[in-house]
Amino acid sequence: IIDTIRRAIGTHLKNNRKFRKSRRTRQLLGKLIP
């Protein structure tokens, strides 16, 4: 399941630059992908 989430988030981030600027998203990614 984690791999699927990683792919989904990765693709989402590539498509949306706004998400990269979001601090919360960075923190969530940090927890999911140490």
pLDDT at 30: 74
Please report the sign of the dihedral spanned by the C-alpha atoms of residue 13, residue 19, residue 25, residue 26.
Answer: positive
Domain coverage including residue 12: 2-32
If you average pLDDT over residues 27-33, what whole number do you get? 73
Question: Which residue stretches of 1-34 are H helix?
Answer: 2-15, 17-21, 23-32
Within 10 angstroms of residue 34's Cβ, the number of other Cβ atoms is 5
d(CA 25, CA 2): 16
For the entire predicted model, the pTM comes to 0.34
**To which residue do tokens 């600027």 refer?**
21
pLDDT interval class at 21 (50, 70, 90): low
pLDDT at 11: 77
Domain tally, the chain: 1
Is the separation of the CB atoms in 29 and 2 below 8 Å?
no
